[in-house]
Structure 1
Amino acid sequence: MIELSDEEYIRVLPLLKNQAYEPVFAYSVIDHNQSGKVFVDHRENPATSLIVNSYGQYLLAGNGSDEHFMNDIVEYLLNEQNHSTYYDLYVTTPELLSLISERLAGRTVLLHRSSFTFDPSRFQNLKTTLKALPEHYVMKSMDDTLFNKYRNEMDSSYDSLWNSSQHFIERGFGYCIMMNDHFASVCNSFFVGGGYADIDIVTVDEYQKQGLATLTGAAFIEHCLKHDVVPNYNCDAGNQRSIQLATKLGFVRNYDFPMLWWHQDKIIISNYLEKFNYSNQ
């Protein structure tokens, strides 16, 4: 495979046009906001590309006509040393999905994601009904201290998303609701690129059902609108709670699309499939 240099990443942008969902994780690599690699079949005028975000989100884009390149991609995907513990493989066309699925048969599972379009008017309607932050809770913007606290106490995977707290502050953003110096609800930018910011909302179990996720999500969206960034939302098609939250925040569910998932821990795969009702399909 040919690996492009940082300066050459923009050559694959034409392959990402007219998608039914926004692959923000791929844009984040192309825009040099988050780390990754870009592989192509031809350096000057690529027809197919594999965009690898270091977090484990991969995009296969193009026509897949180069048999040699497709074989190289399969070899790359089958080599577990190229991944941390998992990868999510997104594709840009049904034809590409068919091509790669055949080659990865038995090695990955098929999942479905729901994509959403942000509707500013719905969000404005939400703002008129938002409840005040409950007493004793405090809303804060994520600074470097809070970011380090978050990745140390709640989500160590953020080390793969952002190289440092300073990197997050420079290229990302987030909001959190605190209770006595403890996180209650957090909404961070997962990926940032192409003019979009992916939303990642987490509410600690003991603080759920108080509307906190809606409040942190609304603060995040307000930040996006103020800085000319489009908020972006997607989740597993079986995650009804997440779909309901997206709808409440002003997003319109518009498309469910397939993707392939590999994880080295088969128990995690089994639990995930059961949690989101794939076993009943």
Structure 2
Amino acid sequence: MIYEANSSLYKKILPMFEDMDDTIILSGLQGHMGSVWVDDLENPAVAQVLVGDFVFYAGNPDTEEALELLCNLPENILAIVNSDEWKYRIETVHKGSVEKLQRYSFRKNREDLDRDHLLTLLSILPEGYDLKKIDASVAKEASLHEISEDFTGQFNSVEDYINRGIGFAIMFGGKVVCGASSYSIYDEGIEVEVGTDPEHRKKGLATVAASALIVACLDKGWYPSWDAANPESVKLAKKLGYVLNEPYDTYYIRYEG
């Protein structure tokens, strides 16, 4: 059997993920959002962290409970693991409904992010566009969520997002056309989510919105963690000051329970 862990068990589970440098794991294991599942509530040997579109596994992949956890999924999910044994188990359990993708991790070093450089990037907003912090009124704008539901989607409500999250939107003609926001939160910072309306791309809007978000996080003492899903996101991250670590495997699972 598998069990949903409560927060009293999180500190015991955290060392199982110590070789996985992903702040979304911390979002779950620090109790901010998502859910955590294990094979045993006293001495877990395998664990699953589910937050938003992501699932992470650690521990022994060769148990019956690991199989249960591998099937404890929503319909579509991105799975991240850090061993060949876990990769093999995912590929076999979900054969025919899994696709291996590449994502890109970045060094998590506050010194890489130069505030003066980011403020310079903030000054390139084209005429006719306005930069706004995502407040309650912006967070309720349909145009914001048409760009990405993940700007606020991991939070319990708009009010919860306003209280715990942070983000900036670029407006044009009264609508949101670009945004940079906290996909998830952890004790020391956020995981960054950026998106732009296709009709307003190639204008530097994402650079401006992301710069505003990063500066605001640095001013709060938070670290804005960046993880890229594609080369365009890698290019933007480097422009902002992030230093690329390496690509890594991610599994897109189309699960039908």
**TM bucket, shorter chain:** 0.7 to 0.9
Matched letter for residue 32 of structure 1: G
Q: Equivalent residue for 1:76?
A: 72
Is the 2:3–2:40 contact (alpha carbons within 8 Å) kept by the matching residues of 1? Answer: yes
Q: Structure 1 residue 263 and structure 2 residue 257: aligned?
A: no
Q: Structure 1 residue 222 and structure 2 residue 215: aligned?
A: yes
What secondary structure sits across from 2:117 in the alignment?
helix
The runs of 5 or more residues in structure 2 that have no matched partner are none
Q: Equivalent residue for 1:272?
A: none
Q: Equivalent residue for 1:27?
A: 26
Q: Structure 1 residue 62 and structure 2 residue 45: aligned?
A: no
Q: Structure 1 residue 199 and structure 2 residue 192: aligned?
A: yes
Q: Structure 1 residue 210 and structure 2 residue 208: aligned?
A: no
What secondary structure sits across from 2:72 in the alignment?
helix
Question: Matched residue pairs, number?
Answer: 252
Matched letter for residue 258 of structure 1: D
The runs of 5 or more residues in structure 1 that have no matched partner are 78-82, 266-281
What secondary structure sits across from 1:45 in the alignment?
coil
Q: TM-score, normalised by structure 1?
A: 0.80
Q: Equivalent residue for 1:49?
A: 47
Mapping of residues 111-260 of structure 1, within 5 Å? 111-124=101-114, 126-127=117-118, 129-130=120-121, 131-149=123-141, 150-156=143-149, 160-236=153-229, 239-260=230-251
What secondary structure sits across from 1:251 in the alignment?
coil
Is the 1:33–1:171 contact (alpha carbons within 8 Å) kept by the matching residues of 2? Answer: no
**Quick one: structure 1 residues 197 and 6, their matched pair in 2 at CA, closer, same or farther if it must change by over 3 Å?**
same
Is the 2:48–2:55 contact (alpha carbons within 8 Å) kept by the matching residues of 1? Answer: yes
Q: Structure 1 residue 107 and structure 2 residue 94: aligned?
A: no
Q: Equivalent residue for 1:276?
A: none
Is the 1:62–1:92 contact (alpha carbons within 8 Å) kept by the matching residues of 2? Answer: no
Cα distance in 2 between the residues matched to 1:159 and 1:115: 22
Cα distance in 2 between the residues matched to 1:152 and 1:251: 26
Choose which of 83, 89, 96 in structure 1 pairs with 2:79.
89
**Quick one: structure 1 residues 132 and 190, their matched pair in 2 at CA, closer, same or farther if it must change by over 3 Å?**
same
Give deviations 1:181-200, integer Å, cap 9, x for gaps: 12132101111124231111
Q: CA deviation at 1:129?
A: 4.4
What secondary structure sits across from 1:32 in the alignment?
coil
Matched letter for residue 11 of structure 2: I
**Quick one: structure 1 residues 224 and 68, their matched pair in 2 at CA, closer, same or farther if it must change by over 3 Å?**
same
Is the 1:3–1:40 contact (alpha carbons within 8 Å) kept by the matching residues of 2? Answer: yes
Q: TM-score, normalised by structure 2?
A: 0.87
Is the 1:11–1:44 contact (alpha carbons within 8 Å) kept by the matching residues of 2? Answer: no
Q: CA deviation at 1:116?
A: 0.9
Cα distance in 2 between the residues matched to 1:170 and 1:11: 29
**Quick one: structure 1 residues 246 and 156, their matched pair in 2 at CA, closer, same or farther if it must change by over 3 Å?**
closer
Please provide the CA RMSD for this pair.
2.4
Q: CA deviation at 1:97?
A: 1.7
